[in-house]
Structure formats: C-alpha cells, structure tokens
Amino acid sequence: MSPWLPATLASLLLFGLWGFFAKLAARAMGSSSALVYQVLGGLAVGLLAWARLGFRVETRPAGVAFAALTGAAGVLGTYFFYEALRRGGLAVVTLSVALYPVVTIALAMLFLQEALSLRQAVGVGCALLAIYLLQG
C-alpha cells in the first residue's frame, strides 16, 4: 500500500462527511450561523493539534502567512458552500465544488512551474466539462 493512501482515504471520508453535514446544517439554519459553528468545531480540532505539539507551534513568517490565508480562504469558501447548498441540491453543489483542484492546478502551473501531461490535461478538461454537464 502506498504510504499516502491511508491519509488520503481518511481525508476522502472526512470531506464526504463535511459535505453531508454541511447540507444538514444549511437546512437547519442560516449560512452565517452554520459557519460560526463550523469554525468552533475546527477550533476544537486545532486546540487538540496544538496540545499534541506541547502548546508550541512553528513561527516562520511565510508559513504563518500561508497557513492564515489557507484558513481565510477555507472559511470564506465554506460560507459560499453553505449558500450554494441552501439554493441547490447536495449532489450538484458538492460535485461542482469538489472540482476545486482545477483552480489549484492552474495556480500551481502559473506560480510553481508545475506541468501536466497531456493525459492529465485531458482529465482537467473532463472535470471542467463535468461542471457544465452538472448544470442540468
């Protein structure tokens, strides 16, 4: 088994639960309220991670800045995810949002000089086609 596979499968499962629980929250309350509770849940996990580190964290400025930007982008993205779930179906919204790696890939190509093979580029094209097809 590849060393990255167990963590990948755990992430897949947890993100699947995240999308499902988000729909239930979006049905039960407004997006801003749901977001507040999600952040509190994330804070609890963050506090556990901090405790695991002996209440010490790395403080390299670039790492701190990028991690903070990651948090801000994730929370704002989650707010709009809740809004989309309130207005649309779970399957279509979740599948569309799950194509976010296309944005990540484009940024990696532009700023990190990463490249895609022809086969991978066709896969990205199929993912973009999927967004169009999911529109109904």
What tens digit of pLDDT does each residue of 31-77 get? 999 999 999 999 999 999 999 999 999 999 999 999 999 999 999 99
pLDDT reading at 136 higher than 80? no
| Residue 10: domain span | 5-89
My answer on whether 23 and 79 are in the same domain is: yes
Contact (CB, 8 A) for 93 and 85? yes
Distance of CA 77 to the CA centre of its chain: 8
Contact (CB, 8 A) for 65 and 97? no
- So what's the pLDDT on residue 31? 96
My answer on whether 39 and 69 are in the same domain is: yes
- So what's the pLDDT on residue 95? 86
- The residue length of the chain stands at 136
Q: Is residue 94 part of a domain?
A: no
Q: Is residue 24 part of a domain?
A: yes
- So what's the pLDDT on residue 130? 86
Instruction: Give the number of domains in the chain.
Output: 2
pLDDT reading at 121 higher than 80? yes
Q: Among 21-35, 92-106, 107-121, whose mean pLDDT is lowest?
A: 92-106
**Residue from 90, 105, 89, 102 nearest 129 by CA:** 102
pLDDT reading at 117 higher than 80? yes
Distance of CA 24 to the CA centre of its chain: 18
Structure tokens at 132: 């169009």
Q: Is residue 113 part of a domain?
A: yes
The whole-model pTM stands at 0.83
My answer on whether 13 and 60 are in the same domain is: yes
2: amino acid identity, one letter: S
My answer on whether 64 and 105 are in the same domain is: no
